[in-house]
């Protein structure tokens, strides 16, 4: 982390020299951007099980400039501080469990002291006609690897190529040899990033030990996409993770109706094992099953400034589908905040979601609420349930207030969630704490400039 802090300072103190390289007419195109967020998160578990909480602040500052018609430069740095870790360092007396969600804001396994820094972006863009090549450290969003941004953004190091020769058609290719997960902000070998956010258990029920023992040196990504004039959007993604897995993700989206206010989407994902799954040893092996698959669909209707959607996800009962939590959010339409279904097989999930916005002269309100049902295998069945999560119903909602005029850029959001058992009775508290029968809240105060 000291190396990251030094690199952060070197980059920002040298920005004036980088700006001087720009042609006279291009210097005005350089711009600063940033944000500061203070966040209080807490989880209240049922009965005598331990509760967890944390208060943190984190921020970002970035600078981007067009140096030539064909060349752009970008850099950004992030900082994080906490105001005490007593609320996450404690352990439940019955189960020995610590926090899950609060540990995402400050990971005591990977962080020390009271402040941490990260340099997620330091890149050059080369643009020639229909070709764009990005080299260095950067943030990109794709279905299974994306920049989920709290407290640090998931960032990539390598090369990302984009090609768009025709209206509607696009192609992408990437080679990534380092990833900085949001849990630490440090760029590491691909294999060493897997497991920083939680290990779960192996298919035999023993505690997994693959963190820092997974052998993988790169991720190769390809994409082909086409958007038809009638509103149909097709995308094909392939993620080849060296010595671990190959994951194919396909998606079709279609806008229908006279006003294009109906949205229909479908997705399919198929994953196979590559090499030895990260390691030959059973307890050190990340990818143990030979293959896994899943599919889903969503129907959404826009209603004035609101929207109502119904989503469905099914993961087959053959084996676990693994999507490293350190690499971003899941791509499933049934995704809800604080929920994950990766690492589990035989999953059926249904989610209904309502979204709305209200805009007045002096402020804007954004709101959503969702109700999800997740049917999962028995948490005692380790071969199908990596994180030992029972079947649940998850109800959540958010209201975000954004003032205008002289307070533009500020926002305040309150997110609340409750999760409840929705299947067979579970008596083992280890399968309940932070997993079911809890109340969760998240207060987020932000300023963006």
How many domains are there within the chain? Answer: 1
**Nearest 5 degrees, angle CA 435-CA 436-CA 439?**
100
* Closest to 146 (Cα-Cα) out of 136, 160, 133, 132: 160
Report d(CA 362, CA 348) in Å as an integer: 43
Quote the domain boundaries for residue 229: 2-448
pLDDT tens sequence across 224-273: 999 998 889 999 999 999 999 999 999 999 999 888 999 999 999 999 99
- Which CATH number belongs to the domain containing residue 411 in this structure? 2.40.160.10
* Closest to 88 (Cα-Cα) out of 131, 136, 46, 55: 55
Report d(CA 390, CA 402) in Å as an integer: 37
Report d(CA 106, CA 218) in Å as an integer: 27
Q: How many CB atoms lie within 10 A of CB 119?
A: 25
Q: pTM of the prediction? A: 0.93
- Give me the tens of pLDDT residue by residue for the chain, a chain 449 residues long: 555 555 555 555 555 545 455 555 554 579 999 999 999 999 999 999 999 999 999 999 999 999 999 999 999 999 999 999 999 999 999 999 999 999 999 999 899 999 999 999 999 999 999 999 999 999 999 999 999 988 999 999 999 999 999 889 999 999 999 999 999 999 999 999 999 888 999 988 999 999 999 999 999 999 999 999 888 999 999 999 999 999 999 999 999 988 899 999 999 999 999 999 999 988 899 999 999 999 999 999 999 999 999 999 999 998 899 999 999 999 999 999 999 999 999 999 999 999 999 999 999 999 999 999 999 999 999 999 999 999 999 999 999 999 998 899 999 999 999 999 998 889 999 999 999 999 999 999 999 99
CB 11, CB 122: distance < 8 Å: yes
């Amino acid at each position: 982390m000291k190396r990251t802090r030094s690199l952060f300072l070197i980059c920002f103190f040298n920005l004036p020299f980088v700006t001087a390289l720009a042609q006279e007419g291009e210097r005005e195109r350089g711009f600063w951007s940033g944000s500061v967020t203070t966040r209080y998160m807490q989880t209240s578990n049922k009965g005598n099980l331990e509760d967890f909480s944390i208060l943190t602040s984190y921020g970002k500052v970035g600078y981007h400039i067009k140096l030539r018609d064909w060349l752009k430069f970008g850099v950004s740095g992030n900082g994080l501080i906490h105001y005490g870790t007593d609320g996450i360092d404690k352990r439940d007396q019955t189960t020995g469990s610590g926090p899950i969600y609060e540990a995402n804001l400050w990971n005591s396994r990977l962080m020390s002291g009271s402040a941490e820094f990260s340099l997620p972006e330091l890149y050059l863009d080369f643009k020639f006609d229909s070709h764009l090549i990005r080299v260095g450290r950067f943030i990109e969003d794709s279905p299974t690897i994306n920049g989920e941004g709290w407290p640090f953004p998931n960032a990539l190091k390598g090369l990302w190529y984009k090609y768009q020769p025709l209206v509607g058609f696009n192609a992408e290719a990437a080679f990534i040899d380092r990833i900085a997960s949001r849990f630490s902000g440090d760029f590491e070998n691909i294999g060493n990033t897997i497991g920083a956010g939680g290990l779960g258990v192996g298919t035999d029920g023993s505690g997994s030990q693959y963190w820092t023992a997974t052998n993988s040196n790169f991720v190769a990504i390809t994409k082909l996409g086409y958007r038809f004039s009638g509103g149909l959007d097709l995308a094909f993604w392939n993620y080849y993770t060296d010595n671990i897995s190959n994951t194919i993700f396909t998606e079709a989206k279609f806008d229908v109706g006279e006003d294009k206010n109906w949205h229909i989407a479908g997705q399919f994902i198929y994953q196979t094992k590559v090499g030895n799954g990260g390691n030959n040893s059973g307890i050190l092996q990340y990818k143990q099953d030979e293959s896994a698959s899943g599919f889903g669909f969503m129907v959404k209707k826009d209603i004035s400034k609101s929207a109502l959607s119904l989503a469905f996800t099914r993961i087959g009962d053959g084996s676990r589908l693994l999507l490293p939590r350190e690499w971003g959010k899941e791509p499933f339409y049934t995704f809800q905040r604080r929920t994950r279904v990766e690492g589990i097989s035989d999953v059926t999930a249904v989610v209904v979601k309502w979204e709305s916005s209200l805009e007045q002269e002096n402020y804007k309100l954004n709101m959503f609420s969702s109700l999800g049902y997740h049917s999962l295998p028995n948490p005692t069945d380790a071969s199908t349930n990596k994180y030992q999560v029972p079947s649940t119903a998850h109800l959540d909602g958010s209201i975000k207030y954004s003032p205008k005029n002289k307070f533009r850029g500020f926002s305040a959001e309150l997110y609340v969630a409750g999760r409840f058992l929705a299947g067979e009775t579970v008596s083992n508290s280890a399968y309940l704490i932070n997993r079911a029968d809890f109340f969760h809240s998240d207060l987020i105060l932000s300023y963006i400039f």
